[in-house]
Amino acid sequence: MQRLSSEHYYQLLSDAITRLDPNTRESRREAYDRARELLKEEARAASPEAPGIAEEQQALEQAILDIEIRSLLGESILRQAPTPRVIPNAAPAPGDRTKPMVQADPIAGTGPSDRAEPILAVRPMPRTGPAGRIGGGHRTKPIHRPEPLRRIQPAYRPVENPAPAVMPRHLPRRAAARKNIAKIRSRNRPVLIALIVLATLSTALAISWLLWDEVMVSLNDTPAATYAPRSSASPAATRFALAEEESRIGGDWVARGDYDRAIVAYDQAIRFNPDNAAIWVGRAFAYGRKGDSERAIKNYDEAIRLDPVNKVARANRAVALNRIGDYDRAIADIDEIIRIDPADANAWNSRCWARALSGRLPEALADCNESLRLRPDDANTLDTRGFTLLKMDRLDQTIADYNAALQLEPRLASSLHGRGIARLRRGETEGGNTDIAAAKAIHPDVAALFERYGVK
């Protein structure tokens, strides 16, 4: 059993974790458990004397720990305590009759929007004696001094005897907690910096590992399979299991119609297991659905190189070759399928279509007849033979085949459009226009397809 370091497991697990959707703690835990089970199965399959089982388990657990540390770096560890407010604990001077004083509300917060409203404290005038004495001194006349004009805001309220400001009890506790937090931060700052540097380096290594094959392909213009994947040093069972998982994810994305994400998943699967022809077929199918026939053909070429008798790869490559007009290669692929399985009705129908597109109409008609002999009442084959007869200008037989196909599949746009063209050629203008309009309602581009095939 080949021993692995924690870096190898880190690379394998980080690639699998990044593909999770959604990426939650529960989904990551399931991925870790699956990796542990795979390692246990490989350990049970190995001989009892095989060394390194404990080291393998330690390396896997260390990789899991590193990934979880990286995922927790973005979370806040400590919360900053609010800044305590300092309230002056002093009464106003005796001579300050009209000096406003700000008194804090002990319940209010400390943010800018939680400032306590200032309270205007007005101290009363000293009392005078019966004869106008002030404090029992000389007789004086009352002095009437006009009060200075001042504008009192509605939020202010006069208070005759303001109570002295008292610091709330919770403020000293907050100040002490803030000091403790500062001590903890200063003590743990080197550890946090080291973790951030480690996570940055690990992320850079992971990104470079993911993009290496694409860079080499763009520089050398060669298939990615010519470069050995970095997972080649991993145990075979783990590598194949990861490849199957990524291939399954790619198939799910194809079913949802997201072909870009499907291609990314198939890329990962090919890195784990580049010798699996089915994975190449899946990526080729995604490229074909995306409209990139050239890349689809290259992927089908690699799949057929790995599995020469793969009928699905040859049939799909024939479809892609028909799209780019390479009818001879498409017919050659279908010839090989018929040689492998002469009773394959789909292969006879495909060769009928390719020969009809290439202009070999009598041979195409013979292939369609053989397909219908093997599988009668097939709507697609009847549609193909109707197209062949339309190109041969045998209008009555064309309309008969299209009628039979539409009885089996009433919303087959190609049959409706082909029957409409045949009716127009026979002079049935109203019926022909009706069929063509119905076909365009189902498939707006059907007329453009027929023109590309040479039928107007």
Band of residue 348 on the pLDDT scale cut at 50, 70, 90? very high
Token pair in block for residue 213: 């094959």
Q: Name the residue with higher pLDDT: 262 or 131.
A: 262
Mean pLDDT of 17-40: 76
Contacts by residues 435-442 (CB-CB < 8 Å, ≥ 24 positions apart): 439/413, 439/414, 440/413, 442/411, 442/413, 442/416
CA distance 362 to 366: 6
In the predicted structure, residue 180 carries a pLDDT above the cut 60: yes
The pLDDT score that the predictor gives to residue 417 is 94
pLDDT tens, position by position, 10-19: 677 777 777 7
CA distance 198 to 359: 65
In the predicted structure, residue 419 carries a pLDDT above the cut 60: yes
- Among 16-20, 76-80, 124-128, 449-453, the range scoring the smallest mean pLDDT is 76-80
Band of residue 35 on the pLDDT scale cut at 50, 70, 90? confident
DSSP letter for each residue of 8-62: HHHHHHHHHHHT-SS--HHHHHHHHHHHHHHHHHHHHHS-TT-S-HHHHHHHHHH
Q: Does domain 377-456 bear CATH number 3.40.640.10?
A: no
Q: Name the residue with higher pLDDT: 360 or 20.
A: 360
pLDDT tens, position by position, 122-178: 444 444 444 444 444 444 455 555 555 455 444 445 545 555 545 555 566 777 777
Average pLDDT of the chain? 75
Token pair in block for residue 2: 């080949």
In the predicted structure, residue 98 carries a pLDDT above the cut 90: no
The predicted model scores a pTM of 0.48
The pLDDT score that the predictor gives to residue 181 is 78
The pLDDT score that the predictor gives to residue 5 is 62
CA distance 1 to 223: 31
Band of residue 192 on the pLDDT scale cut at 50, 70, 90? confident
pLDDT tens, position by position, 215-232: 544 443 434 333 334 444
- At a CB cut-off of 8 Å and minimum separation 6, what does 92 contact? 99, 101, 121, 123, 162
In the predicted structure, residue 283 carries a pLDDT above the cut 50: yes
- Percent of the chain having pLDDT more than 90? 39
The pLDDT score that the predictor gives to residue 135 is 45
Q: Which residue has the tokens 């089970």?
A: 37
Band of residue 211 on the pLDDT scale cut at 50, 70, 90? low
The pLDDT score that the predictor gives to residue 52 is 65
- Among 87-101, 183-197, 244-258, the range scoring the smallest mean pLDDT is 87-101
- At a CB cut-off of 8 Å and minimum separation 6, what does 411 contact? 442
Mean pLDDT of 2-16: 66
- Among 45-49, 68-72, 366-370, the range scoring the smallest mean pLDDT is 45-49
The pLDDT score that the predictor gives to residue 145 is 55
- Percent of the chain having pLDDT more than 70? 67
In the predicted structure, residue 33 carries a pLDDT above the cut 90: no
E strand or H helix at 371? helix 361-374
Mean pLDDT of 386-398: 93
Structural domain boundaries of the chain?
Answer: 1-46+54-68, 193-222, 377-456
- Among 71-75, 164-168, 303-307, the range scoring the smallest mean pLDDT is 164-168
